[in-house]
Amino acid sequence: MFFSKKKFRLASMIACGILASALFTGCGEQSGGGGEKAAGDEIVVGANFELTGNHAQYGANANNGLKLAIKEVNDAGGIGGKKIKIVEADAKSEAAESVNAATKLISDDKVVALVGPAVTANVIAESQVATDSMVPIIAPAATNPDVTVENGKVKPYVFRSCFIDPQQSEVMAQFARKDLMANTAVLYLDSSSDYSKSLGKIFKEHFEADGGTVVMEEAFLAKDQDFKAALTKIQTANADVIFVPAYYEEVGKIVKQARELGINAAILGTDGWDDSKVTDIAGKDALNNTFFCTHYFEGDAEVQPFIKAYKAEYNNDPNVFAALGYDAGKMLVNAIEKGGNDSQKIRDNIEAITDLQVGTGKITMDAATHNPIKGIVVIETKNGVRELRTKIAPVSPEAEK
């Protein structure tokens, strides 16, 4: 007999399981309401974030920030009597899936604008779809210059709510040379991340242009646990600073293991460091003599309303992805408020944003590059407490060139 009763029962159990899991996924993708088509009294926007996969921790946080911004406006009565509805889709931490999710949101859910994904590669992948369908995207945390500009021309429908990598590297290279008086530097990069590699490259250009020398370049991979072999090698270079532009999970472990090996040099980083988990992972003492640049300083007065609202909503501290997701949400809300209920008007309004107060400060959209003009802060950690070291005023990305 091909199907004994027992086997058949098992097969049907598995089939049920698969169906049930399909059902779960369905729920996840359509939370935020019945999942029906846009009713007349709702404005539908799409949230395309990495909710599963390697970048889920970034996507999920940015998504939380966005949801908070939208919830605030809905709780206050919506815009002109209309509520904003978020339809979520999962970019699954892959470029191809990001395109699928964007296509679904645009063609099935008829969203008027998209926010996300969090990671550069996934935004670049979806930007073609958005441009073809003429639906604006706001990328909260994609800091690579290529996100909004292609072959020297600005992508008309792609915007972001964060500064760009060259600015971060330039700030940190100058900081290393002028504030820390460093002559030599080691780059320790995540070779699985374009973010890390491009930051490293630009840091090297600026650091060497300012008269410093990069004496060694080493690499690791995201999700690595043990960094001691490369760190032992880095120790032999005896450099003044070590530049580690990477994300907090690896950064925490790198700093911890470096200090365990007796490396006392200053360790520098970028906005990927900005998460309170770094302190949990590395420990307070290890983080002394580390500096990173980021989008906002949590002690700044103008950031307090956002931090308070986020804590009330989610019962934990926001990280930088949550803050940028919130900023993207604020920009979108502002664009809709100024009379945008179709994609084209929203696009025009985003491009025209001037001196808008968002969660992390005031921003103005640069129409030539679609990068916001906003400040950068350099933060020093002392005994586990973050202190503002320097604040670099907003500069137009154009003016730098």
Distances (CA, A) of 95 to 65, 92, 322, 353: 22, 8, 21, 29
**CB 23 → other proteins: shortest distance, Å?**
13
Nearer to other proteins among residue 30 and residue 131 (C-beta): 30
**CB 312 → other proteins: shortest distance, Å?**
19
Show the beta-strand stretches assigned E in 21-101. 42-49, 83-90
Nearer to other proteins among residue 151 and residue 236 (C-beta): 236
Identify the helix (H) or strand (E) that includes residue 291.
strand 290-294
Q: Which residues contact 161 (CB under 8 A, 6 or more apart)?
A: 138, 139, 140, 141, 324, 327, 328, 331, 358, 363, 372
Q: CA 386, 50, 193, 256 torsion: positive or negative?
A: positive
Confirm or reject binding of residue 288 to other proteins (CB under 8 A): no
- Select from 94, 165, 249, 366 the one that contacts other proteins (CB under 8 A): 249
What the block records as the tokens of 175 is 């900081």
Binding mask 213-242 for other proteins (x = CB under 8 A): -----xxxx-xxxx-xxx-xx-xx------
Whether the bond into 397 is cis, omega within 30 of 0: no
**CB 57 → other proteins: shortest distance, Å?**
5
Binding mask 48-87 for other proteins (x = CB under 8 A): ----x-x-xx--xx--------------------------
What is the DSSP code (8-state) at residue 82? B
SS3 content of the chain, % helix, strand, coil (to 5): 45, 20, 35
**Total of chain residues touching other proteins, rule CB under 8 A:** 35
Confirm or reject binding of residue 261 to other proteins (CB under 8 A): yes
**CB 117 → other proteins: shortest distance, Å?**
14
Nearer to other proteins among residue 246 and residue 281 (C-beta): 281
- Select from 41, 208, 280, 285 the one that contacts other proteins (CB under 8 A): 280
Nearer to other proteins among residue 25 and residue 304 (C-beta): 25
Nearer to other proteins among residue 178 and residue 311 (C-beta): 311
* Burial of 362 per CB tally in 10 Å (0-12, 13-18, 19+): middle
Nearer to other proteins among residue 100 and residue 369 (C-beta): 100
**CB 151 → other proteins: shortest distance, Å?**
30
Name the one range near other proteins by CB under 8 A: 143-151, 167-175, 206-214, 246-254. Answer: 246-254
**CB 208 → other proteins: shortest distance, Å?**
21
Nearer to other proteins among residue 84 and residue 255 (C-beta): 255
What is the DSSP code (8-state) at residue 191? T
For residue 264, the cross-strand partners are: none
**CB 318 → other proteins: shortest distance, Å?**
13
Distances (CA, A) of 240 to 34, 215, 221, 252, 366: 57, 10, 24, 20, 36
Residue 56 and residue 371: Cα distance in Å, rounded? 24
Residue count of the chain: 401
* Burial of 216 per CB tally in 10 Å (0-12, 13-18, 19+): middle
**Interface residues for other proteins in 180-199 (CB under 8 A)?**
191
Cβ atoms 349, 356 nearer than 8 A: no
**CB 97 → other proteins: shortest distance, Å?**
14
What is the DSSP code (8-state) at residue 217? E
**CB 90 → other proteins: shortest distance, Å?**
11
Contacts with other proteins, residue ranges (CB under 8 A):
7, 10, 24, 52, 54, 56-57, 60-61, 191, 218-221, 223-226, 228-230, 232-233, 235-236, 249, 252-253, 256, 260-262, 277, 280-281
